[in-house]
Amino acid sequence: MKKVLISDRVHSHLIESLTSLGYHVDYLPSLTYKEFLAVVSNYHGIVINSKIKMNAKAIDLARQLKFIARLGSGLDIIDLPYAKRNNIEVFSSPEGNRNAVAEHAVGMLLCLCNNLLRSDRQLRETIWERESNRGIELAGKTIGIIGFGNNGSAFAKKWQNWDVQVLAYDKYKKDYAEDCDWIKETDLVEIQEKADVISLHIPLTQETEYLIDHGFIEKCQKPFILINCARGKNVLTHDLLAALDSEKVLGACLDVFENERPKTFTLEEKLMYKRLYTRDNVVLSPHIAGWTFSSFYKIAASLATQILKIS
């Protein structure tokens, strides 16, 4: 019997679907990476999330492997060329959490623009402060979206009736917004020239690593708000902090970070993140933008459908 290892939490729908397809499923969400490497050779398929890295070493150990299924969208944890050379199918499920990410990004932006975190904290301490918490309306603003895949397009569609101009840039696509009159396809230069808000919806690749750095920020003509619900290493945190200090960046909504394991912070990282965490003009969340109850099911259903096609 073909065996599948699920190494992270997943909705029962996927387990039930794989079982109905004739797979023996080992559901081991507490499996460590070391334990994973010790048993991966036993499996025809694996279902992974961010804690398991399918690099060349892991793929070499997985001698029977026919497919890798990623819970979510980020494929930077998989050596895709090496998987292809070894005839291993790779599945991901970005459509499963794209709406969740889009809603989360909108919510973070509204929270920042209306000073909801600060005013909430103050009011709980019986501080009634209205003037310093005066908000910013988004109507009339320009929102720049970098990356127009599943997440970027879902985020763009949220703004249809908001009286905002949406500028979208995707290096690898064209004619993707022709049916959406509130979205203008453009280039990075126009986004840097006109955007009041810049939102990232890109994978982590050699091209996109630290895309947002001092050089990028300096090319922006207007002070702007940054949203990053993509990958932490799309943004160079030191440069973002400097831009927040200088008010070249007015605020930031961050769901992802360069290092997402606080217990591993170096001294330098502790100081850096302390500077970030204590700012009033940032809204932060622990990589949960796509982590809703609805997306939990939809991700599982998406992978089940894709695996069915090769079974």
Residue 287 is among the residues annotated as catalytic for this protein: yes
Residues 114 and 166: beta-carbon distance below 8 Å: no
Q: Phi and psi (nearest 5°) for 252?
A: -145, 140
Catalytic option among 35, 130, 231, 261: 231
Q: Which residues contact 93 (CB under 8 A, 6 or more apart)?
A: 69, 70, 71, 72, 73, 298, 299, 302, 303, 306
> What helix, strand, coil percent values describe the chain, rounded to 5?
40, 15, 40
Query: How many angstroms separate the CA atoms of 238 and 275, rounded?
Result: 10
Give the residue from 217, 243, 237, 228 showing the smallest Cα distance to 108: 228
Helix (H) or strand (E) holding 12, with range, is helix 12-20
Residues 202 and 234: beta-carbon distance below 8 Å: yes
Catalytic option among 260, 268, 269, 275: 260
Instruction: Kindly list the catalytic residues.
Output: 231, 260, 287
